[in-house]
A = this chain, B = another copy of it.
Amino acid sequence: MAEPVAPGRAWRTVLERIENDLLSGALGPGDRLPSERDLSADLGVGRSSVREALRVLEVMGLIRTSTGSGPQAGAIVIAAPSGGMAALLRLQVAAQGFPLTDVVQTRLVLEDAVVAALSADPQRDLTVVHSVLDAMDADTLTSGEFLALDASLHYALAEAAGNTVITATMAGLRTAIESYVVEGAARIARWDAMASRLRAEHRAIVAAIEQGDVSKAKTLVNSHITGYYTAAGLVPGAD
| A interface residues with partner B (beta carbon < 8 Å) | 11, 15, 19, 22-23, 27-29, 48, 51-53, 55-57, 59-62, 77, 79-81, 84-85, 87-92, 94-99, 102-103, 105-106, 109-110, 113, 163-166, 168-169, 173
Which residue of chain B is the closest to A22 with respect to CB atoms?
A: B94
List residues of chain B with CB within 8 A of the CB of A27: 95
Q: Contacts A48-B51, A99-B164, A102-B165 given; indicate if A84 touches B94 (C-beta within 8 A).
A: no
Cβ-defined partner of A29 (8 Å) among B51, B96, B99, B110: B96
Q: Contacts A22-B94, A79-B92, A85-B88 given; indicate if A109 touches B55 (C-beta within 8 A).
A: no
Which residue of chain B is the closest to A67 with respect to CB atoms?
A: B8
Q: A200 → chain B, closest Cβ, in Å?
A: 27
Cβ-defined partner of A91 (8 Å) among B19, B98, B99: B19
Copy number in the complex reads 2
List residues of chain B with CB within 8 A of the CB of A61: 92, 97
Which residue of chain B is the closest to A176 with respect to CB atoms?
A: B165
Q: Is the CB of B99 within 8 A of A109?
A: no
Q: Is the CB of A91 within 8 A of B62?
A: yes
Which residue of chain B is the closest to A77 with respect to CB atoms?
A: B95
Q: Is the CB of A163 within 8 A of B102?
A: yes
Q: Is the CB of B52 within 8 A of A19?
A: no
Task: Compute how far the CA of A59 lies from the CA of B58 in the bound complex, rounded to whole angstroms.
Answer: 12
Q: Contacts A103-B165, A165-B103 given; indicate if A80 touches B97 (C-beta within 8 A).
A: yes
Which residue of chain B is the closest to A162 with respect to CB atoms?
A: B102
Can you give 22 A-B contacts (C-beta < 8 A)? Answer: A19-B90, A22-B91, A22-B96, A29-B97, A48-B51, A52-B55, A55-B55, A55-B56, A59-B60, A62-B91, A79-B97, A79-B98, A84-B88, A84-B92, A85-B88, A92-B168, A98-B168, A105-B163, A109-B109, A109-B113, A109-B166, A169-B169
